[in-house]
């Protein structure tokens, strides 16, 4: 099967590509800098140039493709170990990168005589907004009205018209991916190993997480299941509070977790983006479970132990 991936060199794209290539699929990664990325990709993966805004130069690849997986978008948190402050310029870049990538995919699908079998559109559980309360969110819950919520709405809507072309379309709202390849876990591990680990703010904020192996398996499950269309939460069925996360990581690493960072300090240091740390949401993967997907790591302790062993 020919599978086209935008954002294929990112945190999720790399292991997804590796697994697909290993199973014999033809995987084509779209990149603005193909010469720089070719050597970093798994052996067998192909890289093709695109501008992130249109189907120019690559749209023909969508004709007869098995799947297009659209993971492209400017990083919400930035590229450092700590979140980078949001300003108007960064916010605009975050939203526009998602709009243009989605429109490029739509353009390619629209022009294809033999339409792709499925388009998988990335999103995030930030769709539900950042919250301090204990409400439980499912795929049927409405979007939040904050920057994260509205950015995810824009992201998802960028490819919405594909469903009207008779192409199966699924939206994956990913939680906090647990991996040492990137994301927040490496910094948390560093804190605990240097005896500065513990809760952040009140510690009552919810974190809906997923092991990277389950993230990749869920994407492939959705890609291969003809019944999978619409929105799916990609999270473990057992979200935890920040206090529970700190306690579990302390147990796995055998390090104390008595240190804590006041919410006021994080908001002062990080500005608006601190909401990603001090707020959260309690999200369940109802539709994924209803279709019969089984997570390998539904429990945080065993997930962290596998990653950090």
Say if CB 173 and CB 207 are below 8 A apart. Answer: no
pLDDT for 114: 98
Q: Give 148's pLDDT tier (boundaries 50, 70, 90).
A: very high
8 Å CB contact between 70 and 122: yes
pLDDT for 221 equals 98
pLDDT of residue 81: 58
What is the rounded average pLDDT for all residues in the chain?
Answer: 94
The confidence score (pLDDT) of residue 82 equals 65
For the chain, how far is it from start to end, CA to CA, in angstroms? Answer: 35
Is the pLDDT assigned to residue 38 strictly greater than 80? no
pLDDT tens across 85-94, in order? Answer: 899 999 999 9
Say yes or no to pLDDT of 142 above 90: yes
Mean pLDDT of the 38-42 span: 78
Q: Which comes out higher in pLDDT, residue 80 or 306?
A: 306
pLDDT at 37 over 90: no
pLDDT at residue 141, rounded to an integer? 97
Backbone angles phi, psi at 228, to 5 degrees: -90, 100
54-67: pLDDT as tens digits: 999 999 999 999 99
Q: How far apart are CA 241 and CA 9, in angstroms?
A: 31
Q: Looking at the domain assignment, is residue 23 inside a domain?
A: yes
Burial class for 233, CB neighbours closer than 10 Å (0-12, 13-18, 19+): buried
Q: What is the pLDDT of residue 39?
A: 73
Q: Half-sphere exposure (CA, 13 Å, Cβ side) for 18?
A: 12
Domain membership flag for residue 27:
yes
Residue 221 lies in a domain: yes
d(CA 219, CA 150): 23
Return the pLDDT at 24: 96
Please report where in the chains the tokens 């390998």 appear, as a residue.
296
Residue 305 lies in a domain: no
CA distances from residue 103 to 51, 59, 163, 237 in whole angstroms, order as listed: 12, 12, 13, 33
Residue 151 lies in a domain: yes
Give the count of domains, the chain.
1
To which residue do tokens 């959705």 refer? 222
* Whether pLDDT at 35 is above 90: no
With the C-alpha atoms ordered 116, 128, 273, 252, is the resulting torsion angle positive or negative?
Answer: negative
Is the pLDDT confidence value at 36 over 90? Answer: no
**Average pLDDT over every residue of 285-309:** 97
pLDDT at 80: 61
- Domain assignment present for residue 138? The answer is yes
Q: Is the pLDDT of residue 51 over 80?
A: yes
Mean pLDDT of 296-305: 98
| For residues 40-51, average pLDDT | 89
Inter-CA distances, 199 with 175, 191, 233, Å: 19, 11, 25
Lowest-confidence pick of 72-86, 109-123, 132-146, 205-219: 72-86
Residue 26: inside a domain? yes
d(CA 66, CA 103): 19
Strands 240-241 and 206-207: antiparallel
Q: What number is the average pLDDT over the span 89-109?
A: 96
| Residue 287 placed within a domain | yes
Q: Check residue 260 and report its DSSP letter.
A: -
| Integer Cα distance of 152 and 173 in angstroms | 9
The pLDDT of residue 208 is 98
For residue 101, the domain's CATH number is 3.40.50.720
| DSSP state for residue 241 in the 8-state scheme | E
Could you tell me the residue range of the domain that residue 74 belongs to? 2-178+208-236+283-295
* Percent above pLDDT 90 for the chain: 88
Query: pLDDT tens digits for 122-131?
Result: 999 999 999 8
**Cβ neighbours for 65, distance < 8 A, ≥ 6 positions apart:** 1, 2, 3, 4, 112, 116, 117
Q: Where are the beta strands (DSSP E) in 162-271?
A: 168-174, 176-178, 206-207, 209-211, 230-234, 240-241
Closest CA to 83 of 249, 276, 281: 276
């Amino acid at each position: 099967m020919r599978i086209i991936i935008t954002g294929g060199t990112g945190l999720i794209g790399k292991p997804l590509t590796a697994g697909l290539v290993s199973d014999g699929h033809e995987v084509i990664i779209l990149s603005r800098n193909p010469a720089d990325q070719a050597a970093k990709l798994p052996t067998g993966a192909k890289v093709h140039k695109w501008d992130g805004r249109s189907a120019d130069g690559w749209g023909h690849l969508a004709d007869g493709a098995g799947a297009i997986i659209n993971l492209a978008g400017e990083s919400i948190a930035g590229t450092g170990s700590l979140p980078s402050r949001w300003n108007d310029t960064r916010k605009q870049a975050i939203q526009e990168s998602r709009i243009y990538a989605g429109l490029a995919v739509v353009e390619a699908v629209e022009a294809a005589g033999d339409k792709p079998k499925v388009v998988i559109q990335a999103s995030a559980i930030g769709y539900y907004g950042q919250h301090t309360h204990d409400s439980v969110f499912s795929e049927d819950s409405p979007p939040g009205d904050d920057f994260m919520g509205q950015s995810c709405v824009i992201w998802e809507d960028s490819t919405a018209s594909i469903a009207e072309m008779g192409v199966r379309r699924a939206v994956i709202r990913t939680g906090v991916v647990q991996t040492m390849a990137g994301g927040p876990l490496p910094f948390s591990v560093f804190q605990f190993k240097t005896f500065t680990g513990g809760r952040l703010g009140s510690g009552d904020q919810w974190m809906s997480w997923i092991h990277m192996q389950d993230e990749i398996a869920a994407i492939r499950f959705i890609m291969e299941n003809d019944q999978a269309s619409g929105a799916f939460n990609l999270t473990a069925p057992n979200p935890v509070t920040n206090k529970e996360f700190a306690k579990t990581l302390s147990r796995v690493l055998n390090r104390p977790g008595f240190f804590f960072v006041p919410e006021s300090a994080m908001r002062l240091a990080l500005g608006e983006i601190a909401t990603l740390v001090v707020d959260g949401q309690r999200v369940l993967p109802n539709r994924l479970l209803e279709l019969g997907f089984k997570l390998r790591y539904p429990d945080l302790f065993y997930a962290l132990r596998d990653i950090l062993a």
